[in-house]
Amino acid sequence: MIEEKSQKRTRIVIIGMSTFLLVAMVVAVTVSVDINTRNDDSTNNNDKTRIASTIKSVKSFCQPTDYKKECEENLIEIAGNTTEPRELIKLAFNVTIKKIGDGIKKTNLLHEVEKEPRAKLALDTCKQLMDLSIGEFERSLEGIKTFDLNNLENILVSLKVWLSGAITYQETCLDGFQNTTSDASKKMQNILTTSMHMSSNALAIISDLAKSVLDLNLTNNERRLIDNNNNNNNNNNNDVGEQVFGHDDVEVPSWAGDGSSVGVRRLLHANHYKLKANVIVAKDGSGKFKKINDALKHVPKKNKKIFVIYIKEGVYHEYVEVTKKMTHVVFVGDGGNKTRITGNKNFIDGVNTYKTPTVAIAGDYFVAINIGFENSAGPQKHQAVAIRVQADKSIFYKCSIDGYQDTLYAHTMRQFYRDCTISGTIDFVFGDAVAIFQNCTFVVRKPLENQQCIVTAQGRKDKHQPSGIVIQGCSIVSDTHNVKFDNKAYLARPWKNYSRTIFMKTYIGDLIEPDGYMPWQLPNGTLTGMDTCFYVEYKNKGPGSNKSKRVKWRGIKNLTSHTASVFLPYKFFHGDDWIKVTRVPYSSGEISSKH
């Protein structure tokens, strides 16, 4: 037994030592660099031997990728000129940023000659999304700088999430042209094709490495020991720094770290906690600000401590954006139906889906408690988002999110929803985040006469992406108290080819059609996603949960309890590492149905 442990430790050390070089190569595949080749006369035997060895290694590393030729060509070119791992990483990311920047310049040129209003708006949106892609590469580089054996698994999980986000942002750029008649869509496709392929290759290699680490059982046992120590008030452990409030120098608030599981409840129900907020917003003038956006201007730059904004009861007619630079922001309201932020931007009035949100959350470690988010445009206005979330490790507790089509845009990164109510009609929970909903209620509203209702439309484009929607211990009902209306309602449809949604121990009301799912129809009429999606129903209950008449797609899966455990929070997005510290109610494993 001792010998086995020793051998295992040796293998782990080998992985730890070799991974740094591997990640350098992974990053390198995301770029293409024009480098002049040396003259054949100056290439000696040692050079030839080194090049041959590099080619062999690169081919091995590119094996898991979907675009092998591009992977090998770009990586061999870079690896043949710089061998020091850290320098390879700097070169790869600097060139990636430059290439995306060049793409933004080309987008500007397209914008100057474009005449169609929707296409011009799509081009503007693309520039923002390409900037976000650059940001994900930059943060991945920062993560790799601290890469060592102690945080091996943690950084691999994060790298997968961030690289997945970079892919989604580029895909979202292209989505913006779907309802335009301009040829700008095709031009943007050409601009982004190489970067999207390279991003996919990088994610594929990182995913393959993460799988190897998982196979060596470097997963949850050590994490659980750490979490147990944290629960015993061992707040000096550095893992706290990786959790929802940021880094190890972050001040953990009294309501989150008082050692009590009811810390959040104390915040919600005790006025003296609310008075300790950094700023108070009130419509009646009793706070420092009357508008939420004015309060957000006071979030410190490069903020590493939680910044609590208490928003008193009232209806706030404003479009709110928590930007990428506004990290660790906490919104606390007086209830989802009392403190409400509302707007009505929509597709019919000329705004693309990405730009319609009443509230947009981009700053990492965001927390919302007892807040209502609404888009009141109505079903006749089609796509109209209440809130778009792309903040990593964001949490929503006891919130109401209301709209009709495309209510909640769970766009990217890791997201957790607990005890929330989400209402809508068509695809009203959509996006490509790594998202889990616990103890939430999904309310299907009555749509227009010619419309069908779909609860989820998950947008996983690449099979290597870690994203998906997990609905755990929730309820799916209608707004007519579960009385089935004439319009048909479905659990999901595959927005992108590798759409992934899991319904676990959830109450499914009678409104859901027996076949359960509907395919995605492309503009040319082609039905897609049935074979490549990943849809699971596991231990659900209620009159709509009978699976005997479900569609017989290849993408409909049946899981055992063992395989279903992959989608439990402690495994799917390592929720124990960043949710527990907030004291928001959270189940890391299985949870019972609400009914």
Residues with active-site annotation: 427
Separation of first and last alpha carbons in the chain: 47
DSSP state of 460: -
User: How far apart are the C-alpha atoms of 537 and 545, rounded to whole Å?
Assistant: 8
Q: Is 94 helix (H, G, I), strand (E, B) or coil?
A: helix
Is 532 exposed, middle or buried (CB count within 10 Å of its CB: 0-12, 13-18, 19+)?
middle
DSSP state of 389: E
Instruction: Give me the residue label for tokens 């590798």.
Output: 498
The closest of 382, 469, 468, 371 to 425, measured between CA atoms, is: 382
| CB neighbourhood size of 354 (10 A) | 22
CA atoms within 13 A on the CB side of 44: 1
Instruction: Give me the residue label for tokens 């929970």.
Output: 429
Q: Which two tokens stand for residue 222?
A: 């050590």
DSSP state of 65: -
Please report, as a single letter, which amino acid is at residue 327.
T
Compute, in degrees rounded to 10, the torsion defined by CA atoms 96, 100, 101, 105.
Answer: 150
* Gyration radius of the chain's alpha carbons: 24
Instruction: Give me the residue label for tokens 């994490």.
Output: 223
- Asked whether the beta carbons of 533 and 494 are under 8 A apart, the reply is yes
User: How far apart are the C-alpha atoms of 133 and 354, rounded to whole Å?
Assistant: 15
User: How far apart are the C-alpha atoms of 173 and 169, rounded to whole Å?
Assistant: 6
| CB neighbourhood size of 32 (10 A) | 18
Estimate to the nearest angstrom the gap between the alpha carbon of 410 and the chain centroid.
7
The angle subtended at Cα 44 by Cα 43 and Cα 47, nearest 5°, is 80
Query: The dihedral of CA 65, 66, 69, 75: what is its sign?
Result: negative
- Asked whether the beta carbons of 64 and 206 are under 8 A apart, the reply is no
Please report, as a single letter, which amino acid is at residue 282.
A
Estimate to the nearest angstrom the gap between the alpha carbon of 555 and the chain centroid.
22
